[in-house]
Chain A
Amino acid sequence: MYAIEIENLYKSYDSLPVLNGLNLRVRQGQVYGLLGPNGSGKSTLIHLLLGFLRPTRGTLRVFGQQDLEQVRGRIGYLPERLRYHLRYSGREYLRYLGQFSDLPGEQLSARVEQELGAVGLLSAADRQLATYSKGMLQRLGIAQALLSDPDILLIDEPTSGLDPAGQREMLELLAEVRGRNHTIFLTTHFLDEIELLCDTVGILFGGQLATEIDVQSLRAPGRSVLIKVAQLPPELAARLQQMAPAVRCTGREISLQPNTAALQAQVLRALLDADLSIIALEPQGRPLEDIYMRIVRGDSVELPAADPPPAMFAPPGRPDATTRVLEGAAPTSPGRPGTGDTLLRELLKQDQEPPQTSPTEHQEPL
């Protein structure tokens, strides 16, 4: 069963269309990120899913129910701009919210303590919310959303309007929430959040789902890679360039464009066999950003392969944040580009293992 099913959904404010025939499905247990520019209708969609707004046309089902009153209580919600009744203490507030979710007495107390502990607010639980810092209020937001152990979490732009430290703290908390196996539907306009948290990303543009991508596929080798070596003898450079037209050698740099997993492995093996020191291996460009920008500009989009090989290195950007996900996804992942020969030997070893998918599926990595 799907947690969310949206078919041909239209939503207009007065005569201004916001959603324009949206089709979207989220499987149970999936972490789905909806990416879109400001004003693209992401928050409107969340409010439609919560039943606060009514569709102009089309159908929308949550756990198979079109009558959203029937699923009230199974949904946890983290709004974009968290506002609280600040005259309550953290513990008091969660207790009230739990009562409105029909949590019985003992279970309620246990859940409140559990969630306060999970977000690190136990020591401040009896302080009035008015004295909480912004970060503490964000953490309380996560606690309230998870209080009734909902089947699905709707998270609306969780880091919007936060400073970098606040964003980081929120992402770390959400990464922990991700491990609790809830179905999560998250809207954002930050690529980092998608790369860190989501299984699948949909890009909302023009009121429709422009594309949907398996985030794992974005962690495949870069569409274009630059290999830097300590030295590159001319004869070796010539040999490398003969391997494929995609290989270009300039000085002590080797560029693979377009890159493939097989070609990259072949070039690296040649470099190691020649006993050359490899200084760096840098993916060029950022796949999700490229796709997103092309969609927003109205260009045609070439999507990554559906079943990519295991992640070989992290995309650039926020290496620490990305590494955390990659560590979970592929234990052998080095996490950062250009970490030396030992690592490359491991990668090549990995490359020699029997492939799980046919080579042709890996011909178009990003």
Chain B
Amino acid sequence: MNMLIRTLRFVGFTLVEYARSGRILVELLAGVIFFYIFLRRWTTLPSPEYFFSTTSLFALALTFYSTSAALGLGDRPQGYLLLVRRLGRGGYLLGFYLAAQVVIWAIYGLISIAMALYNPIQGLDVRGWLLGTLPLLLNTALLGALLTLLAPIVLPATGRLVVLALVAIAFSGGLIGGQTLAGLPGPVTAAINIARTIFSTPLLPAFTGFALSVSRDYSGIAFAIPLAQLFLTLGLLTMAVYIFARREIILSGG
């Protein structure tokens, strides 16, 4: 319980630091530009599918920036004064992750409010918005967790390369296929296909979450998608905290 309270206090501390540093202006400006380009009132009214598909992509892009910026704050010598206290390594790392998520979710909330006020979406009520928003935000949490695992203060360079290689293999379906695979010996093709299947499986919740956000169709086993997103997020965060708790800490950024 104390650990949770300390972590939430640290989230508050990081958000104040983030806001006072002016970094938050980047997210706000990006939100305004995104709204102006993609969501302002045009001649035709936006559909819910259009709203969720564009906002999902924007939220993921924002996750890249905000999570990286927040975790960058953790790689500064100032961190030593925090890490020496009862906050501990887990609270320290999760604090930055959660602070970034708060920023992303707040910007998404502002965009949604702006849509409701200035360009209401036809056929989208609060229930529909919640159903589309849940997998969308879980996807930002999932990507944020992956970026936390890949942060320099968590994984050393070699580890990051390994994880990125696995992600690359998982995504390789669209890049290596057809003619390229046909030219390779049978066993190599089979091995690549197996590796691709294995490593792309963990990415399924992200892809299906995106589809669920757009469709908002929770029939069948689709209700399991947010759960899969949640568990994958928790798994990645647990891995990140575990590694961070065991590695040597040499904070270097300034």
Contacts and interface: CB of A to CB of B under 8 A. Distances in A.
B86 interface: yes
B88 A69 contact: yes
Given A102-B2, A102-B6, A72 B84 contact: yes
B50 to A, nearest CB: 40
Nearest to A52: B249
A101 B86 contact: yes
Q: Is the interface of B mostly helix, strand, loop or mixed?
A: helix
B85 A100 contact: yes
Interface residues of A, number: 25
Interface in B88-133: 88, 91
Contacts, number: 66
A205 interface: no
Contacts of A119: none
Interface of B: 2, 6, 9-10, 13, 16-17, 20-21, 76-78, 80-88, 91, 248-250, 254
A365 B249 CA distance: 45
A269 interface: no
Contacts of B84: 50, 72, 75-77
B9 A99 contact: yes
Q: Which of A81, A84, A99, A102 has the most CB of B within 10 A?
A: A99
Interface string A57-75: 0000000000001001101
A144 interface: yes
A33 to B, nearest CB: 21
Interface of A: 50, 52-54, 69, 72-73, 75-77, 79, 81, 83-85, 87-88, 96-97, 99-102, 144, 148
B21 A101 contact: no
21 contacts: A50-B80, A50-B84, A52-B83, A53-B248, A53-B249, A72-B86, A72-B88, A73-B85, A77-B84, A79-B77, A83-B78, A85-B13, A88-B16, A88-B17, A96-B13, A99-B9, A100-B6, A100-B10, A100-B87, A101-B85, A101-B86
B17 A85 contact: yes
Contacts of A73: 85-86
Contacts of A88: 16-17
B85 A72 contact: yes
A72 B245 CA distance: 14
Contacts of A50: 80, 83-84
Given A52-B80, A73-B85, A83-B77, 20 more contacts: A50-B80, A50-B84, A52-B248, A53-B248, A53-B250, A54-B248, A72-B84, A72-B88, A73-B86, A77-B84, A79-B77, A83-B76, A83-B81, A84-B78, A87-B16, A88-B16, A97-B85, A100-B6, A101-B85, A102-B86
Contacts of B76: 83
Nearest to A48: B248
A147 to B, nearest CB: 9
A100 B82 contact: yes
Given A96-B13, A99-B6, A79 B80 contact: yes
Given A72-B85, A101-B86, A102-B6, A52 B17 contact: no
Contacts of A53: 248-250
Contacts of A54: 248
A87 B83 contact: no
Contacts of A148: 85
> Nearest 10 pairs between A and B by C-beta?
A87-B20, A100-B85, A100-B87, A83-B77, A73-B86, A52-B249, A77-B84, A83-B78, A101-B85, A53-B248
A100 B20 CA distance: 20
A279 to B, nearest CB: 52
A229 to B, nearest CB: 56
